[in-house]
Amino acid sequence: MLINRNTLIRLVVITASILLIPLIAIQLSDAISWGIADFVVAATLIFGAGPSYLAFTRTATSVRQRALVGVTVLAALLLIWIQLAVGIV
């Protein structure tokens, strides 16, 4: 599956915009302490969710199917994010 240029730019901008939130929070508070590795992992997870959604919805025929795929991809992203944050396993 190839991603066209506009979609790729959109995914990069969305990922960067989301990562600005912890970057600004780090500047304002000492409670958040992210390193470079944290930003790389977060960027990989967030950016990877976009192509995953696009790949899984290529054959979706209804809005309901696309919404279900979106919720599933978001749930997987959040589960991985929470697991990495808590670090139980």
| pLDDT at residue 1 greater than cutoff 80 | no
pLDDT greater than 90 at residue 3: no
What pLDDT is recorded for position 77? 94
Q: Is the pLDDT of residue 89 over 70?
A: no
Residues 43-72 have a mean pLDDT of 94
Closest CA to 69 of 84, 59, 80, 79: 59
Amino acid occupying residue 86: V
Whole-number pLDDT of residue 76: 95
Q: E strand or H helix at 18, and its extent?
A: helix 5-28
Work out the average pLDDT over 75-79: 94
- Mean pLDDT throughout 21-38? 92
36 HSE (CA, 13 A, CB side): 0
pTM score: 0.81
For the beta carbon of residue 61, count every other beta carbon within 10 angstroms: 8
Over residues 61-84, the mean pLDDT reads 94
